[in-house]
A and B are shown apart, each in its own frame.
Chain A
Amino acid sequence: MLNTLKNRFEQGYKTSGYPKTSIELVDRYRGLPEIQKDAPDELARQCASECPQDAIDAEKKIIDMGRCVFCGGCERLSNGKFVRFTRNFETATSMRDHLLTDGRLPALAEHSKKHFKKLFGRSLQLRQVSAAGCNACEADLNVLATPFFDLARFGINFVASPRHADGIVVTGPISRNMKTALMDTFEAIPDPKVVVAVGSCAISGGPFRGSPEITEGLDSLIPVDLYIPGCPSHPLTNLHALLNYFK
């Protein structure tokens, strides 16, 4: 008992003040990308051709955050003169098109469906389905239950059954072998229900695009309400998205 208490004191109080207080992530963290629109066309084309995810449109000078894995290659190649990754982790959007960005995102809270806020603002129960996810997005959703993030204090929980859920959170590129199980889980959730796509894989197929075994985008199967980009998305990105979209 004494040992338990000693540990309790040593551990202290660790829960983050976010969103009431802001959090600064480390310098090397790559969040919302900003495009320098006046960058030379040649540089843009070079970045586009070197991008492992082919996420850059050199003509329109935009980057598709739904495809990007935030490796930062374009920033290094252009020395920040075409793309610069900011430390802003608030990158989720309510529309797929909004992820095609030059660095300016519409405020998420204003684009969420108002009836969702009314229905789920005080209590939101989510069912998570990993559909061929690599366990990175899953891990960074799981940590929302740890003391630092403590998602439950906002009335949001991940639940064990779709029957108890208000919505589904999907990770992974939806393999052929998981499609039926995913759709069954979706069907089992009572209406009205929300759909959240987390990570580059669920949004666009991510690193696995081109493989015949996967689906390139959850929204080709079911309508998606909230897109959270990343590879994986930072837990704070997830937290920001859930709080702004539903609270």
Chain B
Amino acid sequence: MKTGFLKVSNGCAVLRSDIPQLPFEDFRREALKIVKEGGKVVQYFGYQEDNTIKLLAVLRTDELLIAGTDAPDSYPSFTTECEPFHLFEREIAEQFGIRPEGHPWLKMVRYHPNSTGKPDVFGNDYQEDIPGRYDYYKVDGEEVHEVAVGPVHAGIIEPGHFRFNCIGERVFHLEIQLGYQHRGIENLLTNIQNKRLPIVIESIAGDTTVANASSMAQAVEALTQVRTDEGSKIIRTIALELERIANHTGDLGALSGDVAFLPPANYFGRMRGDFLNMTLLICGNRLGKGVVRPGGVRFAIDAEMRKELMRRINELEPQMQHVIDLLFATPSVRSRFEGCGTVSTYDAEKLGLVGPAGRACGIQFDARREFPTEYYQHIDIPVYAEPTCDVYARARVRADEALRSIQIIKTLLEKEIKTEPVDFGNYELAPASFVVTVNEAWRGELSHCILTDEKGGIARYKVKDPSFHNWNGLAMSLRDTGISDFPLNNKSFNLSYCGFDL
């Protein structure tokens, strides 16, 4: 396929002047063509350059493709022809006041004023501080009723608002409105000293610390021509896989709890802690804050620690296997998991689902296999074989991944790991450059982009959490599902509020 888009490599910098700048019409036509023919939207965002607003798209086929254009004040929405652009267009409208005409559902994403001073596309008054004050989608009918949940939820959970339109127990439609967690991260990242960069990045989403920090570090390394040693790649991979196991394990426990089968709920909860404690052993922080820094890692793993990690993981492996067997062999669990919250492969493709939620629907993409970073080119990542599209599949895929990750870590711990720990980042970024990084976080495809200015400062930092794709998958899974199955479906996705809200 010949287009005006430029092929780039994951985590390799290009000069901004090398990014093809297409006339808007060409940009629109070609981007739509690539995505309609099976391409995916990795990033699509706006940025300011000398008082003009520009748009940049990173698309993915079996390679990464980029192109930019000058943003018009308004334009015919891409979404009307190609659904995966849906949320990206809303985000651009919110951040820059650019209206996608004909967008089927143009509403705010995170509830904040745009940065250009243009009239607000959504007509919001930001003196009012409630993102939920907006006319939710309504279903009419005598027996139709609404259930409103959040932003403050019943457990220890992040805030967000869920609006169910139901008939009896059955959900017609679930609308999810986020934005409560918005901390202004992307703007903050363009205004802070280098020394703060890793600290802010590690707090984008605390459960995805290592993946975010690695995505940032790879981008900074590309812009500084710094090469990391093999040992630090191995340690990042171990930390990333521990993050994956811990989160999957915790969620399997929560799923078990949500169908009222308490033994695995407790065992998984406890074992999750043991995996977090392995990360604690490596870096002194249970969630991996402080492991990754541009240039490498801050903590080495010596022979003694390798032995200890191996001892712990060997002890946990059979326990994990047995509790997973217990969970999936229990008829009352199976009867609740199977056929619940189905999202068809067709819908999943249209919504652009990624990660385990996508794989459960038969979308096999895994960035560890397709765009390997760190040590992943040496690791075999299998394809998930049971895409039944329901809660069962979303649970099973995560159980399989957790067990696979245990094998990965065991393999990596077998050899000596040699690295020179790094510390403070006194680096200068290449001026007028661009880099995109893609990594498989535990929820799916995570991507960071950095655009630098003429002096090497960060002009634009764009973060896309996998949840950005997947929240609509959760909404879709609830269609024609009992409202009492919401917690179960919610946990099977377990999406990030703060990663989405930034």
A interface, CB within 8 angstroms of B: 3-4, 6-8, 10-11, 14, 25-26, 28-30, 50-53, 69-73, 76-77, 128-143, 145-148, 158, 160-161, 172-173, 175-182, 185, 201, 206-208, 210-214, 231-232, 234
Question: Do B270 and A214 touch (CB < 8 A)?
Answer: no
Using known A-B contacts A138-B156, A181-B151, determine if residue A52 contacts B196 with beta carbons closer than 8 Å. yes
Question: Do A180 and B129 touch (CB < 8 A)?
Answer: yes
The residues of B that contact A73 with a CB separation of less than 8 Å are 423-424
Question: Do A207 and B203 touch (CB < 8 A)?
Answer: yes
- A113 vs B110: C-alpha distance in the bound complex, in angstroms? 40
- A132 vs B281: C-alpha distance in the bound complex, in angstroms? 28
- A21 vs B185: C-alpha distance in the bound complex, in angstroms? 42
Question: Do B266 and A207 touch (CB < 8 A)?
Answer: no
The residues of A that contact B299 with a CB separation of less than 8 Å are 28
Can you give 28 A-B contacts (C-beta < 8 A)?
Answer: A4-B263, A14-B270, A30-B284, A50-B195, A52-B198, A69-B199, A70-B285, A77-B423, A130-B158, A133-B206, A135-B498, A139-B206, A140-B287, A143-B269, A146-B266, A146-B272, A146-B273, A175-B183, A175-B501, A176-B112, A176-B129, A178-B180, A180-B129, A181-B130, A211-B185, A212-B184, A214-B183, A234-B286
Interface-located stretch among B186-194, B369-377, B480-488? B186-194
* B329 in the interface (beta carbon within 8 A): yes
Query: Looking at the complex, which one of A3, A28, A29, A136 makes contact with B203 (CB distance below 8 Å)?
Result: A136
Q: Which of B137-159 contact A (CB under 8 A)?
A: 151-152, 154-159
Which residue on A lies nearest to B189, using beta carbons?
A211
Q: How many A-B residue pairs have CB under 8 A?
A: 202
Q: How far is the CB of B489 from chain A (nearest CB, A)?
A: 19
Q: Most chain-B Cβ atoms within 10 A of its Cβ — which of A26, A131, A134, A146?
A: A134
Interface-located stretch among B9-17, B88-96, B317-325? B317-325
* B111 in the interface (beta carbon within 8 A): yes
Extra inter-chain contacts (17) besides given A77-B423, A206-B203, A213-B184, CB under 8 Å: A6-B322, A26-B277, A28-B281, A28-B283, A29-B284, A71-B199, A132-B180, A135-B158, A135-B496, A146-B272, A147-B270, A181-B180, A207-B196, A207-B203, A211-B185, A211-B187, A213-B183
Which residue on A lies nearest to B202, using beta carbons?
A207
- A177 vs B182: C-alpha distance in the bound complex, in angstroms? 7
The residues of B that contact A206 with a CB separation of less than 8 Å are 203
Which residue on A lies nearest to B212, using beta carbons?
A134
Q: How far is the CB of A133 from chain B (nearest CB, A)?
A: 7
The residues of A that contact B501 with a CB separation of less than 8 Å are 132, 175
Query: Looking at the complex, which one of B155, B200, B207 makes contact with A208 (CB distance below 8 Å)?
Result: B200
Question: Do B159 and A4 touch (CB < 8 A)?
Answer: no
The residues of A that contact B46 with a CB separation of less than 8 Å are none
The residues of B that contact A14 with a CB separation of less than 8 Å are 270
The residues of A that contact B270 with a CB separation of less than 8 Å are 11, 14, 146-148
Question: Do B195 and A211 touch (CB < 8 A)?
Answer: no
Q: Map CB proximity to A onto B394-419 as digits: 1 under 8 Å, 0 otherwise.
A: 00000000000000000000000000
Question: Do A141 and B156 touch (CB < 8 A)?
Answer: yes
- A11 vs B191: C-alpha distance in the bound complex, in angstroms? 49
Q: Map CB proximity to A onto B39-50 as digits: 1 under 8 Å, 0 otherwise.
A: 000000000000
- A142 vs B270: C-alpha distance in the bound complex, in angstroms? 12
Question: Do B184 and A11 touch (CB < 8 A)?
Answer: no
Q: How far is the CB of A70 from chain B (nearest CB, A)?
A: 7
Using known A-B contacts A3-B326, A135-B207, A211-B184, determine if residue A179 contacts B129 with beta carbons closer than 8 Å. yes
Question: Do B156 and A52 touch (CB < 8 A)?
Answer: no
Question: Do B280 and A28 touch (CB < 8 A)?
Answer: yes
The residues of A that contact B165 with a CB separation of less than 8 Å are none
Question: Do B267 and A210 touch (CB < 8 A)?
Answer: no
Which residue on B lies nearest to A29, using beta carbons?
B284
Q: Which of B245-268 contact A (CB under 8 A)?
A: 250, 263-264, 266-267
